[in-house]
Structure 1
Amino acid sequence: MTSAVTTAPGGAAPALAALAYHDGQFVPLEQARVPVTTQALQYGTGVFEGIRAYTQADGTLAVFRGHDHYARLLRSARTLRIDVGLDAERLCAVTAELLRRIGSTDDMYIRPLAYKRALLPGTPPGVQLTGVSDALSVNAFRMGSYTDRGGIQVAISSWRRPESGMLPVRAKVTGGYVNNALAVDEARAAGYADAVLLNSRGLVAEASTSNVFAVVRGRLITPPATADLLEGITRETVVTLAADLLDTATGFEDLARDDLCNADEVFLTGTGSEIVPVTGIGGRAVGDGTPGPLTTALMTAYHEVVRGKHERYHHWLQAVGQDSA
């Protein structure tokens, strides 16, 4: 099923085709629905990713690190016994085809969701992962940079990040994001843009949807996986760019609350948020209250890389015009 891009009234920019990949087909977005009996809706038994596609220097669109995101989606899916039905290569091809059919060359955000749908015949009702059918949906929409490159103020949340023995925190499980939603709601109610969550040991875990980096006594540090965080694709990208382009190694070390509050620089990383300077924590300035030099350099490098301006990292970019599904 194809859908042409239509022209908006009054000579405005073309309107995008509102499409999704749902149940193995490309369908109008309004048809990509699930019933209220969906198991994932009832119990949070779904996994997801957030992926970006960026406009390149030649005006084309390219997906950034799509294969890595889908490899993580498949790992998350195995945790919940979800059979996605496609491998990472095929998921990348489906995503490229969806973007082609939507018809945008602007920056896009892609949201794949794999989830438990309905009890199979003979399966008794209840909370379970076996005897339940699986489903996959992918949608995409325009989204440029939405965070303040001048820096944001964050709070230290009263909500704690769950331990990995309580919840599979290294998987992007939909139900687990209730914790994140509570933390960011608390922070915004108090006038902050985001929240940093501590783990059960009182050490820095992550922000609501981002990983945390700090420059402490001249060293770039980010908490290790053992801090009960999701190992972000953007986190890994930043570690690579810092080493390759800025000759700066990253230490994977526990950060106490005091380390964060007394750091010279703090920034957050995530696919949606990209790289965000933190200029204040709990009403106290970080450094001089402006984005620091390492943060600024990494922001510049990152935005050049995702736009295809560094040939060294072209392997991270999948041109949407290739590999039709």
Structure 2
Amino acid sequence: VKGFEPSAYMSKKEAKRVGRVSQFAIAAAKMAIADAKIEIVPDNARHIGICFAAAMGKPEVFETDYNPYTLRGAQAIHPTTFFEVSPHAVSSHVAMAVGSAGVCGTLAMGCTSGLDVVQWAFSQIQQRQAHMMVVGSAEAMLTPFAVSVVAANGILTQYAGAPQAASRPFERDRDGIVLSEGCGAMILESLEHAQERNVPIYAELLGCAGGRGGVNLVAADIDGIDIAQVMETALYQAGIARTQIDYINAHGNGLRDYDTAECNAIKTVFGQQAYNIPVSSIKSMIGQPFSAGGSLQMVASCLIMKNNLLTPTINYDYADPACDLDFVPNRARRARVDHLMVHAHGIGGSDAVVVLGKSRT
């Protein structure tokens, strides 16, 4: 994230102590809270919960602590490293930074995490554990060791052209992901609570579902049957007909099998209608930030619904016969969106789907 200045969201002393992924989460959470016009004070702090997701609490640990350790021993390790490495450090830092004293959860489920936190937060509100939830997901894997680990898996693109053209979801010549970083955050609350506060509502959460399938930790089953089942469950939970979906915010990360599986799942669920539903991937523009991807998809989807403007799939030069849907190629498009679906696919064949509806107020 170019130009990110953590001291705009925390003291310089705190910024030095907190890992980059937690810095992202604190910044995004504070922006979401401000946008939602929430003031967290002692009287309401216990009614506001937190749930963030990340793969690691401090991916830069190998550079900041392990390398010095090999030279100088244990005394080179920062005293707080043990705690900072835990994914729960992210949610804990956010809670302390914003003053929340309510439920505080953490998920670490890879690329589906940004949607999974929404489902968990919904359950907390439904069970009256919280009036409002600040949720999101963050990732900061752009360190030498972390990038090398991903590269060793063989999933990074080998595209040799302009870097900004390297992420090519659903495109014929796609050959892998572009690793990125970032964070998305949002506020969940009951409709009645939001109306009582008289604040703008971006979207209503209608349904969500999760599941997994397949027999490979990395590769996706290209038939997309397992993905389709999760999509169908989310539609059932939402209580709407599949013909009401106006747009799909796809996982689309540029891996050949992932994109093909997702496309086949959409065709399985929607049949012939699939060819009339716009589908796009924001990862063509932001790359693949792993855990952060789902939350950024959610943020983008809320803005798509609010503005009736579909985000495009850029770098789409040549159509792939195996992926033959309307991917909103290269240019944003005006369209009324009353209902949309968000899908994320992750490690081990995990899937998460959220269905959103336009606010009725």
TM-score greater than 0.5 by the shorter chain: no
Q: Which structure: greater helix fraction? A: 2
Name the TM-score, length of structure 1 as normaliser: 0.30
